[in-house]
Structure 1
């Protein structure tokens, strides 16, 4: 959105420069370039004919933007001394400025239709002999620039609006899921007062973003700058909503069935059928029947004791893990396993799972079962459709 604002400012600045060519207008400020003009004049004063030829060659090698900058400085210097712009030198300086303006517009807009129109104006500039004719060409240039800026900024606002719509819809869906989860927690007898307050804040920020977006879309005759500002406000509201969402998710971790955080104190014990995902720095021992085990060793220090278990297939036997070290995978695993490491993610899917975990990290238990930590027993969370699909991806 910041880039869009700068483009609008650039449109405004160029329009002001072109207005100054009209007889009734005047240049308000040339002080900023006075030093550069004086330096250049001193250099030009010492140049002989050969030097002028070199200078001409240098100008030809300039970029479009460099030529535009030099032509602008020269035009401002001459206009400061001759506001009527009625001398041959002033006419030529004005032509050079208009042509360099056209060149930079062609480069910036990169549009065949505008390029054709601007090149036609170049021919008018070449044929012009009076300030009035040049002023007419300048007005044509200004009209094209204004139209192009409006078109580009409208496109930018439309793109931002589409993205904002997607963000708002996703956030509204999230709010509905959170509301349902809070209702289930309340039905279990949990105190959800704080969560309800956070959800109310979350919905308020989303509604505020939606309101700003609607104002940006409707416009109400306030112009593109106001539309950009309204979109920026909508973005601010969504960032505030995301801040509240993060706070809610942290709060929900304390209540969610099947979601546990270990801080390094005590041991977690669990048993059941389904999927267990453990991430962190821990030592884990488990027994399972006909299970799939995936171990991602991020630190490269994992120790896996599988001597008291049998399995049907492992990528370690095939040598895959030694090549890319992505993960150790065991299929149809039955028996006792011990795993230890500092940056591990272990995914275990099977039946008759019993496990103990000691250390720090996060755990998710999905399926049918119970777990106990710090003397509190809870149930595994009910499986969702995506759980098995995500585990299949991990296996691969």
Structure 2
């Protein structure tokens, strides 16, 4: 409720000193006021009750903001004719305006502690008999509003700061992974000078983002607005770093073994054991032993031929492959399979895999084996082993 209500900070201005109790602008516009007048006229025409009873019933059906708008209109009208506010009518209008302002603040803030404080001030307003007492209550309202606004601003800055810290830490971890990748490529005899230059740019943008974040966090005595501006600059630096990262990843694709991009021309041929993941628009045929096959058919046009294969279990045979757009799954599959479709993701895990694919999309081959595409032969990517597995070994 706080986040939604905070938008009203932009247009509530509390100027409630008795020397000049008036808002900068009334919330209720002419149309809504005219609607309320017409409502009153319809009630008067259809109900045989007194004018005061009609007004009270009408007010009970109004929202907090509508009551605020009406109280504002009434207060401005009376103040225009009596700027000194030295009549009983003027005092009552000022009280009503102040109470309606408190009500809309309670509705906007949605905070139990502030609600208790503001409700206590309403009691003071009800008991006020002099302009000085009413002015004192108005000052208390202003103080609470200022405190709530500062709390909101600080909360927003802290939230952004925490998110920025997470992004920077992730980016630094990515930079370390890229550095290790370049070291492996260089050890293989690859020319990585261009990639090293891109990595320097990436690190520079991350360092710049961290510097802006630090300035925003410290404030440097320049106030809230400067802190917000520094956070924005940190965000710009992160976006620039991501642009460089995207360029690096595109360049790295040509060096990474086991990663193939199918362009619609030529055929991929692979042999080995491990995991093959193919996604895109393609036709593939393979043979494997004791494999697990998972097919995600996003377009709903997949054709799967398993006539020359055997398997122990399939969710298609079980009749539950169509529930919640589930994938087609085959366990302990051996033999020859042909798959065709326009928006497929096929995952194959097994041994003695022989695979042919043509079309457009991406292929990742992880395990032990070789593959050939466009006359170039490479090895499957080695499986990644985490530290825990290393320790167990």
1:299 pairs with 2:299:
yes
- 1:384 corresponding residue in structure 2: 384
TM-score (norm 2): 0.84
- Check the 8 A contact 2:8/2:108 in 1, yes or no: no
Q: CA deviation at 1:180?
A: 1.6
- 1:352 corresponding residue in structure 2: 352
Structure 1 residues 71, 221: closer, same or farther in 2, change over 3 A? farther
- 1:68 corresponding residue in structure 2: 68
Q: Equivalent residue of 1:121, what SS?
A: helix
Structure 1 residues 126, 202: closer, same or farther in 2, change over 3 A? same
Structure 1 residues 41, 65: closer, same or farther in 2, change over 3 A? closer
CA RMSD of aligned residues (A): 3.3
1:17 pairs with 2:14:
yes
Structure 1 residues 29, 326: closer, same or farther in 2, change over 3 A? closer
- Check the 8 A contact 1:27/1:80 in 2, yes or no: no
Q: Name which of structure 1's ranges 86-95 and 358-367 shifts more when overlaid on structure 2.
A: 86-95
| Residues 114-125 of structure 1: pairs in structure 2 closer than 5 A | 114-125=114-125
Q: CA deviation at 1:177?
A: 1.0
Per-residue CA deviations over 1:12-43 (Å, capped at 9, x if unaligned) read 754x423x5253x6869669989679969998
Per-residue CA deviations over 1:89-114 (Å, capped at 9, x if unaligned) read 32222111110111112222223322
Structure 1 residues 73, 254: closer, same or farther in 2, change over 3 A? farther
| Residues 237-316 of structure 1: pairs in structure 2 closer than 5 A | 237-316=237-316
| Residues 88-103 of structure 1: pairs in structure 2 closer than 5 A | 88-103=88-103
Q: CA deviation at 1:236?
A: 3.2
| Residues 4-83 of structure 1: pairs in structure 2 closer than 5 A | 7=6, 10-11=8-9, 14=12, 16-18=13-15, 20-23=16-19, 50=50, 53-83=53-83
- 2:208 corresponding residue in structure 1: 208
- Check the 8 A contact 2:291/2:332 in 1, yes or no: yes
- Check the 8 A contact 1:37/1:77 in 2, yes or no: no
Structure 1 residues 35, 106: closer, same or farther in 2, change over 3 A? closer
Q: Equivalent residue of 2:14, what SS?
A: helix
TM-score (norm 1): 0.83
- Check the 8 A contact 1:26/1:83 in 2, yes or no: no
Q: Distance in 2 between matches of 1:352 and 1:237?
A: 48
Q: Distance in 2 between matches of 1:80 and 1:187?
A: 85
Q: How many residues align?
A: 380
Per-residue CA deviations over 1:236-292 (Å, capped at 9, x if unaligned) read 332333333333323322332111111110111111121111111111112222222
- Check the 8 A contact 2:75/2:93 in 1, yes or no: yes
Q: Distance in 1 between matches of 2:356 and 2:9?
A: 66
- 2:171 corresponding residue in structure 1: 171
Q: CA deviation at 1:63?
A: 0.8
Per-residue CA deviations over 1:334-369 (Å, capped at 9, x if unaligned) read 222222222221111122222111111110011122
Q: Distance in 2 between matches of 1:237 and 1:325?
A: 40
Structure 1 residues 34, 79: closer, same or farther in 2, change over 3 A? farther
Q: Distance in 2 between matches of 1:243 and 1:94?
A: 58
- Check the 8 A contact 2:14/2:23 in 1, yes or no: no
| Structure 2 stretches lacking a partner, 5+ long | none
Q: Distance in 1 between matches of 2:10 and 2:70?
A: 20
Q: Distance in 2 between matches of 1:43 and 1:331?
A: 73
Q: Distance in 2 between matches of 1:113 and 1:218?
A: 29
- Check the 8 A contact 2:26/2:72 in 1, yes or no: no
| Structure 1 stretches lacking a partner, 5+ long | 390-396
- Check the 8 A contact 2:21/2:94 in 1, yes or no: no
- 1:131 corresponding residue in structure 2: 131
Q: Distance in 2 between matches of 1:118 and 1:149?
A: 15
Per-residue CA deviations over 1:99-134 (Å, capped at 9, x if unaligned) read 011111222222332222212211211122222221
Q: Distance in 1 between matches of 2:134 and 2:332?
A: 84
1:339 pairs with 2:339:
yes
Q: Equivalent residue of 1:140, what SS?
A: helix
- Check the 8 A contact 1:30/1:77 in 2, yes or no: no
Q: Distance in 2 between matches of 1:84 and 1:56?
A: 28
